[in-house]
Amino acid sequence: GKTTTARVLAKSLNCKKGPTLEPCNQCSACEEIAAGASIDVLEIDAASNTGVDNVRQVIIETVSLTPSRDRYKIFIIDEVHMLSGGAFNALLKTLEEPPAHVLFVLATTEVHKIPPTIFSRCQRFRFRPVSVDLIVRTLQKVAEAENIEAEPRAVELLAKAAGGGLRDALSLLDQANALASGKIKRETVLDLVGVLPEEFLIDLSRALLEKDARKLWKHLQVLYGEGYESVRIGRDLRDALQRAYLFKLKVAESLENPWREMTEPHSAESFSFILRQLNRALDEMRWSEQPQMILELCLFGLLEAAYDLKDWVERLERLEKSGPLKTAENSPSVAVPGRGGLDADDAPAKAGAGPAAVKPDDDVLWKKILNRARSVKPALASYLENAHLSQVPNSPDWTVRFGNQFQLKGSERSAPWIAQALKELTGQEKAVRFVLDASLEVLHGTEEVPASTAGREGAEIGAEDPVAKDPDVKKVMEFFPGKIHKDKSGSAE
């Protein structure tokens, strides 16, 4: 309706009785504009006239000429976003200082493609979609005038399929009348627009909400057999569940049965999650060679997802109200099981010679940290594998003990990540302190010296040695703390 509205505007300006809000449609100017024959109202299709030469010939060279008869010379440029960059630049000068008798009407469906230099010099009018109720009333009025019989539900389907466009709705009504033999029925419109029947959508939604994989697969096979495409199935299912979602949010006033009964046990959060997943799948289906597979992965994945967060929150609240949880302060201390071939009883008992007692909560907590690190920071997980977490009552820090300097240094950069992970798991915001504990190195063992290098160590190289001052050697020593020795051949290693 953009070009039609532009013609109405041209009539209002050039009408014999104008400028007026209601053109007479009887004078020669109105009749010629309606027929597209007015020499003072030029319509340009920018989709087929995109270049600079077209703009120069049609607009720039004629814009200075006064109207031959009418009040204004009006240029209607349809699909203006199709103009090239050079054409926009050529048009810009005229738009900056247009003659008093010239008016430009730019029509487009993609306003974001208009350059800001052009856009800033225009008045903008956004066209809103026509409501479904208004389209229904208009179609019923047209049907009565043309002696066309149509079921109310068929007219409603036509209005929804028009997508807010009254012209498209009238075209669909004309097609449905030609397709139907007599009265236009709902089934005729369904075949025409390719929308899934309501009963199919209800069966599909019920199987999805009840998490019944067998029924879901059965209904999908029926739809495939009827010739419905995967994109159409996903889109119509999303639209149907969106109505249920708006009803659960109490935004929509009503929802017809059986949708109301089917959605009653489920929360708005459940529908929100399902709609997000369907939107994501539809976006992937646009570029995929296997849209059917993407639809099935989405639907069957929803059967496995725990998206009812409300139920989980209620369960957690019940657990919190049932009583205080066991804390590290009132739980007994146990010794860490021995590792690296040593039992706990074999570990040295005196302070500083063996690992400190670790509370069970600390041990479980550290295992959770390790599992997180393995999934997102594998390198850090290798450093933390043989470390231990301990917490002292009333201490402001978490203490992580390492058996060797190499693992401690490798973990220092990730101390903020470890502190954040501990905060998410415990709710306690504390700093993380790294401590070197030689007893852990005894527990976990040390790597054996390879046979190829055994017995080759010589004198240690001092800091003043040229080898130690080498920039590459310094860089290696920053990442791998250790000592440099000369082997028996005299070369450094």
Q: What is the pLDDT of residues 425-434, one digit of tens each?
A: 888 888 888 8
Burial 89-102 (b: 16+ CB within 10 A, else e): ebbeebbeeeeebb
The reported pLDDT for the residue numbered 288 is: 86
- Average pLDDT of the residues of the chain: 79
The span from the CA of 392 to the CA of 81, in Å, is 68
Residue 449 clears pLDDT 50, i.e. is over it: no
Q: How confident is the model at residue 64 (pLDDT cuts 50, 70, 90)?
A: confident
Residue 217 clears pLDDT 90, i.e. is over it: yes
Taking residues 161-179, report their average pLDDT.
87
Residue 470 clears pLDDT 90, i.e. is over it: no
Residue given tokens 């058996």 in the structure block: 403
∠ CA 110-113-119 to the nearest 5 degrees?
Answer: 100
Other beta carbons within 10 angstroms of residue 201's beta carbon come to 20
Residue 437 clears pLDDT 60, i.e. is over it: yes
Q: How confident is the model at residue 312 (pLDDT cuts 50, 70, 90)?
A: low
The sheet with strand 73-78 has its strands ordered as 41-45, 73-78, 102-107
Beta bridge partners of 435: 401
Q: Kindly tell me the burial class for residue 372, based on how many C-beta atoms sit within 10 Å of its own C-beta (0-12, 13-18, 19 or more).
A: middle
The span from the CA of 377 to the CA of 410, in Å, is 12
Taking residues 327-348, report their average pLDDT.
38
The reported pLDDT for the residue numbered 341 is: 35
pTM, to two decimals: 0.49
The reported pLDDT for the residue numbered 110 is: 87
Burial 379-401 (b: 16+ CB within 10 A, else e): ebbebbebbbbbbeeeeeebbbb
The reported pLDDT for the residue numbered 491 is: 53
Q: How confident is the model at residue 359 (pLDDT cuts 50, 70, 90)?
A: very low
Give the model confidence (pLDDT) of 2-56 as tens digits. Answer: 888 899 999 999 998 878 888 998 898 898 888 888 888 888 888 887 777 777 7
Average the pLDDT over each of 137-146, 269-278, 322-331, 464-473 and give the range with the smallest value: 322-331
Residue 306 clears pLDDT 50, i.e. is over it: yes
The span from the CA of 175 to the CA of 4, in Å, is 22
Contact 317, 289 (CB under 8 A): no
